[in-house]
Chains A and B, each alone.
Chain A
Amino acid sequence: MGLRDRLLQHAPPIGSSQSYDDYVASGGYQGLKKALGMEPDAVTQMVLEAGVRGRGGAGFPAGRKWSFVPKGTGKPVYLACNADESEPGCFKDRQIMERVPHLLIEGCVAACHAIGAQIAYIYVRGEYPQSIAALEAALVEAREKGTVGSDVMGSGWACDVWVHKGAGAYICGEETGLLSSLEGGRGYPRIKPPFPAVEGLWRSPTIINNVETLANVPLIVRDGVEAFKSVGNDDTTGTRLVGISGHVENPCDVEIDPATTTIRDLIETHAGGVWKGRKLKAVIPGGSSVPVMPADAIDVPFTYGAVRDAGSLAGAAGVIVMDETTCMVDALLNLMQFYHHESCGQCTPCREGTGWLEKLVTRIWKGEGRPSDIDLLDSVADTIGGAQNGKTICFLADSAVMPTKSFLKHFRGDFVAAVENGGSPVWKAQEARRAKVSA
């Protein structure tokens, strides 16, 4: 149901990487060739008409973002490819980089042509040595064959692509944190405006796009807008790569038609169903930052709009599945530890607030919670986010708020039980295990 290979159509199995020759034999670099014969604005126009939305989480239309690059500033323009992929539950970009690295490289070079850039940096998280190795090897080939370098495909136009390796910080996936990191500093996000398209790397116009977003570009140019839009619907054009993990029989990454694939299909058809024959309890559909959905809400197609209408977000397409035995207090605590640890500390509401959330959930988890703590948790969550209103620089704090509010909304019973029964069952089991070991 809904399986639709496009980005990964010719990808070799997991563990191997497609060579330049195999890539070209399967139609690779034709999109770039065609793009080089077009006016840059015409390429941007195609991407705009294709309607491809950012696959890094926010879903902003790529063509529109590209059109924000100011013209005639005399400054260089840069492309930064966001390959930081650190959102818990997300592992889709890895598939592209490891298995079809030339697809991403072609996308970067074609995008550079469209926006007027001559350098692309691919910022890959340091925990992806296999992705880095595959990209580096492909770049050696690409330079040799002339699809990257001083004379791209004989056009006389030069374009370089460099891999930049991160070093373990989730916040470097936030687009302006990524820029700070690329410039050689701490990965501190920056206040917007100015937006990176106007003032990014070294105060020059910079476009930041996710790996999967850029990987779609060669296909749009080569096959045309209509072919691209033949998958998906008006809201979500093209395929989506989705990672499914947690309590399923077969955790995996699949490429789907988002218009015809529901979250239930993802779990039951593609991931082999909930593991151990158990019942479903909850699903986080878009990576850890989006609201959790209860089991009865998952019969919706995996488009941005449909998942939003169902109360969550498709985000970066990391589907985390939780079975009936899951203690939601324990799951939320795990996420709050993450956000508190990854807050960069620049904004007080985020730095202190994520700490408070972690502390409060810990208290409930360990059986030290008071009944009033549940409402307190809910109200603290209300006070710490707000990037939209300028209360914080970036959306990390909001990313901690969304799970908190939704966990309490749909699974309040688990929190009440933990308060009344002396803590989370997971905590109790852990204590019992440790007592046995030390006895």
Chain B
Amino acid sequence: MSVGTGPTFTDEQAAAADAKASFGDLRPRLETLVARYPERRAAMLPVLWEVQTARGWLTPTSIREIADYLGTPQAHVEGVITFYTMFKDVPVGQDVVMVCKTLSCRLRGAQEVIDALEDRYGIELGGTTSDGRYTIDEAECLGLCDMAPCMLVVDGARHGNLTPESAVQALEGGR
């Protein structure tokens, strides 16, 4: 949640995300997750993932519903979301791309890859392409140093041994 800078999304955007999946429909799957732990609250990360995947991002309604569902205060759910970089409480592109900037990738040209992506889409890392297709985040070591420089589509493909050209191509191919 951005504090003090006003909302970074509109009510319409939130409503559109919520409309993608009703919490009731998600429940049967969530029940199987909760059953894996001796305490409901432990299912926090799995539940956040399920809801985020279904709706694209974690809307205020989602946060309320998850808090109720797990029997924990909303402030706790928000605190968890903001701790983890892969949870999003603002709208993001259809896919989120994580571009590694850490040492093994930097040694093999990660900065040039990042510059090329920023140039191509006219955004800085953390931004979303104007067509809403991709949010491009910077990432710390993705554990793919054997294919450095590299990037990962969240819950999707990984792209390695990138050059500035092949990085752009990999994303253009997915449009």
Contact = CB atoms under 8 A, between A and B. Distances in A.
Interface of A: 76, 85-91, 93-94, 125-130, 160, 162, 164-170, 181-187, 202, 243-247, 251-253, 284, 288, 318, 320, 322, 326, 330-331, 334-335, 338, 341-342, 430, 433, 437
B145 A245 contact: yes
Interface in B114-161: 115, 119, 139-148, 152, 154-156, 158
Interface residues of B, number: 47
Given A167-B87, A185-B44, A127 B143 contact: yes
Interface string B72-108: 1000100110011111000000000010011110111
Contacts of A342: 140
A342 B140 CA distance: 9
27 contacts: A76-B38, A88-B102, A89-B141, A127-B86, A127-B152, A129-B152, A160-B36, A165-B45, A165-B49, A167-B49, A169-B83, A183-B39, A183-B41, A184-B70, A184-B80, A185-B44, A185-B76, A186-B80, A202-B42, A243-B145, A246-B108, A247-B107, A247-B108, A252-B146, A320-B104, A335-B103, A430-B111
Nearest to B42: A184
B41 A91 contact: no
Nearest to A184: B44
A87 B103 CA distance: 11
A288 B158 CA distance: 22
A322 B139 CA distance: 21
B167 interface: no
Contact of A87 (B38, B70, B141, B147): B141
A168 B43 CA distance: 17
Contacts of B42: 182-184, 202
A320 B141 CA distance: 12
Contacts of B84: 126, 166-169, 187
Q: Is the interface of A mostly helix, strand, loop or mixed?
A: mixed
Interface string B151-175: 0101110100000000000000000
Contacts of A160: 36
Contacts of B46: 164-165
B51 interface: no
Given A88-B102, A338-B102, A167 B45 contact: yes
Given A86-B140, A430-B111, A168 B86 contact: yes
A89 B83 CA distance: 23
A166 B80 CA distance: 12
Contacts of B103: 88-89, 246, 284, 288, 320, 331, 334-335, 338
Contacts of B87: 167-168
A91 B143 contact: yes
B53 to A, nearest CB: 11
B51 to A, nearest CB: 12
A88 B140 contact: yes
A93 B144 CA distance: 11
A85 B146 CA distance: 14
B45 to A, nearest CB: 6
B143 A202 contact: no
Nearest to B140: A338
Interface in B11-70: 36, 38-39, 41-46, 48-49, 70
Contacts of A186: 79-80, 83
Query: What 6 A-B pairs have minimum CB-CB distances, sorted nearest first?
Result: A184-B44, A167-B84, A245-B145, A168-B85, A168-B86, A88-B141
Contacts of A166: 45, 84
Contacts of B44: 184-185
Nearest to B139: A127
A278 to B, nearest CB: 12
B37 to A, nearest CB: 8
Contacts of A284: 103
B65 to A, nearest CB: 16
Contact of A326 (B41, B48, B107): B107
A219 B161 CA distance: 34
A318 to B, nearest CB: 7
Contacts of B85: 167-169
Contact of A86 (B86, B107, B141): B141
A330 B101 CA distance: 12
A130 B98 CA distance: 15
A138 to B, nearest CB: 17
A170 B155 contact: no
Nearest to A437: B119
A133 B159 CA distance: 17
B108 to A, nearest CB: 7
